[in-house]
Structure 1
Amino acid sequence: MSLNLTTRLPPRALLSQATRAGHRSPRGASYLTKDVPIRQFWRNSQRSAQAAQAEHLVHDATNLGQLDGKPAKHVAVNIDGDPRIFDTVFLRDSCTCPRCVDPDSRQKLFQTSDIPQDLEGACRTVVDREKGWMVEVVWKNDIPGYGAEHRTRHSIDWLRRALTTELELRGGVRSDERVLWDREKITNNNKWVDYKDYMAEDEVLFDALSHLNKYGLLFLKNVPESEESVVDIAGRIGTLKNTFYGRTWDVKSKPNAENIAYTHQFLGLHMDLLYTSNPPHLQLLHSLRARSPGGESLFSDSFEAAHSLHHSSAFHFRTLCTFPVTYHYHHPTHHYHHTRPTIELFAYPKYSEPTNLAIRHINWSPPFQGPFEARIGGENQTALRNYLAAANAFEKLLSAEENLYEYRLEEGDCVIFDNRRVLHARRAFDASKGERWLKGAYVDDDVFFSKLRVLEERYEGRWIADGVVRHAVK
């Protein structure tokens, strides 16, 4: 019996339809999986008549794509009352049965390119005790090596999420939880986390990383006096980033320093390692010694400055999005070189909405800037002069007193900040009157967001990637 747009079956009839035909999976289990009796399933689900009507899941106007109809290249599935069309290639490629995805590694056991061009499918609705209503597809012209018994199942929740994700990616909609801040806002909203709680409790870690993702700045207190403490702190997030500075590194004043950070001089607002292809996402600095006068740390939210610049001069903003700036680290044993614009945007930004500029990264590191290599001259070329004006306006916003958060790291403090967003600086200090020693480490963006997504899914039932929220589904 086929379902169409006008069919209305009572709940028991609908459930019976999914099971009475006597179809079996390759292992002999009923389509009403886990061997759940229909009466028990109905008693447990307690679906209303209206809800039952919404479970006419598989249909289209001609009944194509059903087991008792002609196999087709597209299948219509009722999702929230509307028939939504899915290409059978997508449904086949997304199959998660044990023959298609290894149960242990969760890695794909076939290639998308293996799917035949003439693939077609016929499908029906089935009921799973854990996942509820599902669509099951029987294949015609399946991938070579897969027999006629192969089936693909997808829950309605998963199909709904797939549609939502596609629409939001296509439309450029972004979920952005970041909070822009000036000195007053970060002073009121800053977060201090106890080291022991951070290390021992996943809920505390999730709260800390969520705050770090929103504000780009986080402080830990009562950190043990050990050179390995920064390793332990970063290790709660994931693998440390190893650079030519080492897995960890020391910020101390020393003669003939290869980096201005290793001096006692004032160090202006900057970001680290912009001369590499993938600069670190997080920087951690643990204060082991803070016995010299001065040396206060300064932080500025470059995203806030970029939004302010866009509001005051869209022309300056666009200039910083397009003008190439070269960064380098050129020494006898290391030679790094990379060119990037000051402001990097995500795809599909909505420039008409100043609150949704879709800023991905800011690149600002004057101490490590190399000579410009493009758009550098000619009396009729104005690009460099335009960049100079835009950079000057941007720097004034970055270093404005009302936008700077100042804090002197005491012994036992550790600061973690987003190196692609929050600029950091340091006031000069008197190295002759005491030791100042910070232990540093980096963490990459992939590592940070992986940990954040794991915790988001565990505690909030959702996770975010590419600016789109994915709700956890079975």
Structure 2
Amino acid sequence: EPLSVEEKNGEIEIIWKEEPPHKSIFPVSWLLNHAYDPSPQQPEEQKILWDRAWLDAHPPKKYDIHSCPEDVWMSQLFTLGFTVLKNINPDNLDDFISSIGPIHATEYGRFGELKAMPNSTDIGQSLTGHALALHTDRCHVHEPRLVQVLYCVDNNASGGESLLVDGFRIATDFHQNHQDYFQILAKTPLQFQDFDPMRGYFFSRKTPILELDWEGKVAGIYFSRKTCNWNIPFDELEAFYEAYSAFCRYLKDPIYEYRFRLEPGDCLLAQNFRIIHGRTAYDPLSGHRHLRWATIAWDYINARQNFEMLKHLYLMEN
């Protein structure tokens, strides 16, 4: 029970009715920021849903890791779903990624390699240099939302351009023009599987292509022809195939595509739950193409951003 309450110099001073009397001092700003009714406004994640025309008018930059502040390139990662950094020394790659958030280890370890390897059954490591169709990674594993990190070690072969599309932009346009198909892809779970005889794993996961949040908005996209197994009842198959084919036509439409080349020392960070990525074919006889990849749980990056935006609510000056 308060014995007295006084406001002075931007603070509330309370003397409590206790023996001996106890005094509490609260900055008014702190009390307002922590009020529960109305609750303080939480920052909303800002997104720009882009297509090729938007990127042509607002060309993305490759940010120099040595001169660009972290908040600048991090802002692009949040708004566009991807960013490209340059001039990262391969010896510093681990330290750089770890400075953003803990590296999310997979069955490949903390890092994986994408380069031509003899007898590989993975098309990404094939000696043929075939194109990689647009996809999201690791649909077959129950994992947190991830940021894909692709670091260019070497790339002097002809071809091999990186391809990105904004899955959230495509989903928005798809919903606007094909609401029935959208609902089918959001409600029909598919079986994503990966059999790994080398490491002794058989991964299996069921999830729809379009994941919706509690507000009905698209929160994630799971698209991988490589690992997808259509375990769908026969009477639902025709309608699903129509919806799936329509969605693929959007993915293949060049109006959504961003195409660029990664050079040695470049590092692409992309939201794996939003950005659908691929690669054009390259000629392995013309040179080498070697990428190193890792993943970071998006929660850590989001938490770092939240810390910078909200720390004034929790850090009080002495």
TM-score range, shorter chain: 0.7 to 0.9
What are the superposed Cα offsets for residues 77-105 of structure 1, whole Å, 9 maximum, x if unpaired? xxxxxxxxxxxxxxxxxxxxxxxxxxxxx
Correspondence for 1:207 among 47, 55, 72: 72
**Residue in 2 aligned with 1:239?**
102
Identity score, percent: 23
Partner of 1:368: 227
| Distance in 2 (alpha carbons) for counterparts of 1:275 and 1:242 | 15
Per-residue deviation, 1:340: 0.3
Provide the rounded CA distance (Å) in 2 between the counterparts of 1:243 and 1:25.
59
Over 3 Å counting, the alpha-carbon distance change for 1:16 and 1:438 in structure 2 is closer
After TM superposition, give the deviation of residue 246 of structure 1 in Å.
1.3
* Alignment match, 1:289: 154
* CA pair 441-17 structure 1, distance change in 2 beyond 3 A: closer
Contact 1:285/1:438 (8 A) holds in 2: yes
2:120 aligns with 257
SS of the aligned residue for 1:431 comes to: coil
- Say yes or no: does 1:318 pair with 2:173: no
- The answer as to whether partners of 1:270 and 1:423 remain within 8 angstroms in 2 is yes
Q: Does 1:185 align with 2:54?
A: yes
> Which of 132, 151, 154 in structure 1 is aligned with 2:28?
132
Structure label with greater radius of gyration = 1
Give the residue type in structure 2 aligned to 1:196: H
Match of 2:17 in 1: 23
State the one-letter code of the partner of 1:132: V
Task: Indicate conservation of the 8 Å contact 1:210/1:452, yes or no.
Answer: no
The structure that is strand-richer by fraction is: 2
SS state at 1:274 partner = coil
Name the aligned partner's letter for residue 78 of structure 2: N
Question: SS of the counterpart of 2:220?
Answer: strand
Task: Provide the rounded CA distance (Å) in 2 between the counterparts of 1:239 and 1:258.
Answer: 29
From 279, 291, 300, the equivalent of 1:426 is 279
Aligned to 1:414: 267
Provide Cα deviations, 1:289-311, integer angstroms capped at 9, x if missing partner. Answer: 11111111100011111000111
The reply to whether residue 345 of structure 1 matches residue 212 of structure 2 is: yes
Task: State the number of aligned residues.
Answer: 308
Q: Quickly say closer, same or farther: Cα 1:230–1:156, change in 2 above 3 A.
A: same
Structure 2 residue 194 is the aligned partner of structure 1 residue 329: yes
Unaligned runs of 5+ in 1: 3-8, 34-127, 135-154, 199-203, 350-357, 462-470
TM-score by length of 2: 0.87
Note the C-alpha offset of 1:279: 5.3
Q: Could you report, residue by residue, the CA deviation over 1:154-212 in whole angstroms, capped at 9, with x for unpaired residues?
A: x343124x6437xx99xxxx9341110001223415232112235xxxxx212222220
The reply on whether 1:398 has 2:263 as its aligned counterpart is no
For 1:207 and 1:249, how far apart are their aligned partners in 2? Answer: 28
Q: 1:190 to 1:11 in 2, by over 3 A?
A: closer
Amino acid paired to 1:323: T
Q: 1:443 is matched with which residue?
A: 296
User: CA separation in 2, counterparts of 1:178 and 1:30?
Assistant: 46
Q: Tell me the SS of whatever aligns to 1:246.
A: coil
Q: Could you give the per-residue CA deviations for residues 389-415 of structure 1, whole angstroms, max 9, x where no partner exists?
A: 111111111221111000011112111
TM-score normalised by length of structure 1: 0.60
Alignment gaps of 5+ in structure 2: none
Kept in 1: contact 2:152–2:262 (CA 8 A)? yes
TM-aligned CA distance change 1:317 to 1:24, over 3 Å: same
Structure with larger RCO (C-alpha < 8 A, sep 6+) = 2
* 1:175 correspondence with 2:44: yes
1:164 matched to 2:34? no
Deviations 1:215-251 (A, max 9, x none): 1110111222x2x433233112110010011101111
Distance 1:16 1:257, change over 3 A: closer
Deviation at 1:420, TM superposition (A): 0.6
Contact 1:296 1:427 in 2 (8 A): yes
1:319-360 Cα offsets, whole Å, 9 max, x none, are 1110111111112222111010011111033xxxxxxxx211
